[in-house]
Structure 1
Amino acid sequence: MTPAATAELPWGDVWGQDDAVETLRAAASDPASLSHAYLITGPPGSGRAPLARAFAAALIAEGADDVNTMRQVLAGTHSDLTALRTEGSIISIKEARAMATRSYLSPSAGRYRVMVMEDADRMTERTSNVLLKALEEPPERTVWILCAPSDADLLPTIRSRVRVLRLQEPEVAQVAELITARTGVDPVVAEQAARHAQRHIGMAQRLATDEASRVRRDETLRGVLRVRGISDVVEVAGQIVQAATDDAKALTAERDEAERSSLLRTVGIADGARIPPAVRSQLSALEDDQKRRATRSLRDGLDRVLTDLQSLFRDVVMLQFRPDADLINRELAEDLHELAARWTPERTLVVLDHIAETRDALEQNVQPTLALESLLVTFLSGKKP
């Protein structure tokens, strides 16, 4: 590793959050200013998770020269790091209880034991209560780092026990510059991806580097704009769910098979060999975990579609109040201007409200196709069915 690269550790993957880095770097080097628990908040794609991992590495390592330790923490393999990013829709009580229990162990090799929960907003009230005691009375050398879009996503009892660090949202041009530097894609493609992703760095990178994702997004929005009757509602809703399903399968299938093969190799079973009864329960548990992950991946995909639809009708309502408004979906400007002239602002706002309600409904396990059909019917009449 070159001296320049070493100097970047562990903050090299944290981008556009200089104030936050300065705050956490100081806390890691000065025990007197270190809090026992932090909550890092910011919009999706703002870099909450990379910052949490970098802070964990700085806390566990013995100093700036302890490169090997920082590499292990950043890779998620250090014994003094416990990190949770749930594969399901919620963080279970079992997962929270396991983290709380582990938080009472003394550091085995580093300066601190660090507990990172990336999706703290996915805790139910009962699950949050499991963490309260651990956050109230942590051991002297344990530090908690929670991540969530907003401190309002957590219970007041949790918020009162953590130090909140709010991240800044980058500009489109900044995200585009980063994506071009990381991937080498054309700056025009990077700008479009950053704009369509609404400055979400991870999603912008995927759009910039995956043409199929860009095509699916464009086809979905154009399909919604073409909805004129019930037959269109049924067709477009089905297409959206199918596209999200295919996307989720593509993201999870390779990983699922690798996990299955790894499990069988670990217990000494060759490919194609008969699976003994003693291993079937382990395989069944793995498959259950994979099904939960697939469900979350599908919901995440549908949530991205709803975010894209919000951007579409946000553009419409902006045009209704200011015809020269800067658009997220500039490529659809002609259709958006036409819709802005045909609809009233009140109708557009009803649609935006229903998009938000559809997102909530999907979180409550409403059947996706029915939820989207209900939403698309709103586009026809401007009224909720």
Structure 2
Amino acid sequence: MSGFRDVTGHERTIEHLKNAIASGRVSQAYLLVGDKGMGKKTIAQAFVQTLQCETLERMLEQEQESPGEKNSGTLPLQSIDACGTCKSCRQAETNNQPDIMVWRYQKETSISVDDIRALVSDVQIKPYASRYKIYILPDAQKMTREAQNALLKTLEEPPEYAVIILLSTSRDAMLETILSRCVVLPLRPVDAAKVRSYLMDRHGVEPYKADICVAFAQGNIGRAVALATSENFYSLLERAIQILTHVKEWDVSDIVVLIRDMDRGKDVVNDILDLFSIWYRDVLLFKATRDADGIIFREQIVQIREAAQKSSYDGIQRILDAIRTAKIRLKANVSFDLTMELLLLTMKEN
């Protein structure tokens, strides 16, 4: 990581953070909100590395002392980034910068009041070598109500050197009193073309595989990378296509066993359901346009065409609705077998 230049997408969030640094109006509390894999930690790390960059700090000081004729003493935003070469940047890139802390918790399932009290105590110690002392709190949605209340006083009256960055998958998990004291930055899905380019340029993913991963990820670049770099990707894809092309002729109970045997983890089942959704969106698109250009599963165009001929518009929509319902049921721990049987019956009948 070398600052903002290595972040793909999230231009509005990055612009906000760069403006804060350029103007010297850095907030003492931020909340980055987005699904797992959206880039919350990546953006936070780029921000804090830039904030602590010694080279940039000198440039900002010089600009304030002798501003140019056409500006107000602030550097242009394209200049606001970590240099990657100063002592602080090198330390940050190896996770050894003493004034940048990613806070650790006693348990994985929740963040307790004791975890936060330890942070509150540490905040009182001044920075070792930098202007700021920065805390990144991953999974902030796991803070108990008591833990959030323990953090509240520090957010209300923080030392001038402290910057606290909360990373959360849910805004609703945070107390209103916490939200009111943070600059809340919701992360939006990254443009599909940028995700595709990222997969191909950074990870060497072939175009067909990249297209499927982009459609699968829906703007979540971390999710796209996880699928694209998975050793089981083609196995997962082949099994999903096998089910989709034979669902009408195979026995439902046999397919349920097939899916369960792939992996008992919920993530894999959700991945299969997402691939099902992409397939049926392709079927719906081809049925409406008779054009293969926008199809994700291009290598299965014969099967897509056949499915479009056999299914009605209402039938395809019922299947897509059933897939969404299945995901909700699995998240709520409804019986796996029952959930999948109901979904597969809908797929067979439509």
Alignment-derived partner of residue 375 in structure 1: 339
- In 1, distance between residues paired with 2:116 and 2:255? 41
Contact 1:60/1:114 (<8 A) preserved: no
Alignment-derived partner of residue 313 in structure 1: 277
- In 2, distance between residues paired with 1:237 and 1:87? 35
Alignment-derived partner of residue 89 in structure 2: 70
Secondary structure of the corresponding residue to residue 199 of structure 1: coil
Amino acid at match of 1:160: S
- In 1, distance between residues paired with 2:148 and 2:241? 38
Which entry has the higher C-alpha Rg, 1 or 2? 2
Alignment-derived partner of residue 53 in structure 2: 61
- In 2, distance between residues paired with 1:230 and 1:189? 29
- Judged with a 3 Å threshold, the aligned counterparts in structure 2 of structure 1 residues 378 and 125 are, in CA distance, closer, same or farther, namely farther
- Summarize the alignment of residues 157-306 of structure 1 with structure 2, pairs less than 5 Å apart: 157-220=177-240, 222-223=242-243, 226=246, 229=251, 231-232=253-254, 234-242=256-264, 244=265, 302-303=266-267, 305-306=269-270
- Judged with a 3 Å threshold, the aligned counterparts in structure 2 of structure 1 residues 48 and 327 are, in CA distance, closer, same or farther, namely farther
Moved over 6 A (4+): 85-88
Amino acid at match of 2:12: D
Alignment-derived partner of residue 354 in structure 1: 326
Cα RMSD, aligned residues only: 3.5
Deviation at 1:179, TM superposition (A): 1.9
Contact 2:110/2:143 (<8 A) preserved: yes
- In 1, distance between residues paired with 2:166 and 2:50? 16
Match status 1:323 vs 2:287 = yes
Select the residue among 111, 117, 138 that pairs with 1:92.
111
- In 1, distance between residues paired with 2:310 and 2:323? 13
Deviation at 1:87, TM superposition (A): 9.8
Deviation at 1:38, TM superposition (A): 0.8
How many residues were matched structurally?
Answer: 309
Deviation at 1:103, TM superposition (A): 2.8
Q: Which moved more, 1:76-85 or 1:173-182?
A: 76-85
Alignment-derived partner of residue 5 in structure 2: 12
Contact 1:172/1:199 (<8 A) preserved: yes
Deviation at 1:343, TM superposition (A): 3.6
Contact 2:240/2:275 (<8 A) preserved: no
Residues 322-345 of structure 1, C-alpha deviation per residue, up to 9 Å, x if partnerless? 833856555566366478539464
Deviation at 1:376, TM superposition (A): 0.5
Alignment-derived partner of residue 39 in structure 2: 47
Ranges in structure 2 where 5+ consecutive residues have no aligned partner: 57-82
Alignment-derived partner of residue 83 in structure 1: 102
Deviation at 1:97, TM superposition (A): 3.6
Q: Which moved more, 1:182-191 or 1:10-19?
A: 182-191
Taking only the aligned residue pairs, the percentage that are identical comes to: 26
Alignment-derived partner of residue 139 in structure 2: 119
Secondary structure of the corresponding residue to residue 12 of structure 1: helix
Contact 1:220/1:240 (<8 A) preserved: no
- In 1, distance between residues paired with 2:209 and 2:316? 33
Taking structure 1 as the reference length, the TM-score comes to: 0.67
Residues 82-117 of structure 1, C-alpha deviation per residue, up to 9 Å, x if partnerless? 214779653321434433332332211111111112
- In 2, distance between residues paired with 1:186 and 1:346? 33
Ranges in structure 1 where 5+ consecutive residues have no aligned partner: 1-7, 245-301, 362-369
Residues 132-154 of structure 1, C-alpha deviation per residue, up to 9 Å, x if partnerless? 23322222111111223453343
Higher RCO (Cα < 8 Å, 6 or more apart): 2
Residues 148-168 of structure 1, C-alpha deviation per residue, up to 9 Å, x if partnerless? 345334332322221012333
Deviation at 1:51, TM superposition (A): 0.8
- Summarize the alignment of residues 336-347 of structure 1 with structure 2, pairs less than 5 Å apart: 337=308, 340-341=311-312, 343=315, 345-346=317-318
- In 1, distance between residues paired with 2:31 and 2:310? 42
Secondary structure of the corresponding residue to residue 152 of structure 1: coil
Secondary structure of the corresponding residue to residue 91 of structure 1: coil
Amino acid at match of 2:327: I
Alignment-derived partner of residue 26 in structure 1: 19
Deviation at 1:221, TM superposition (A): 5.7
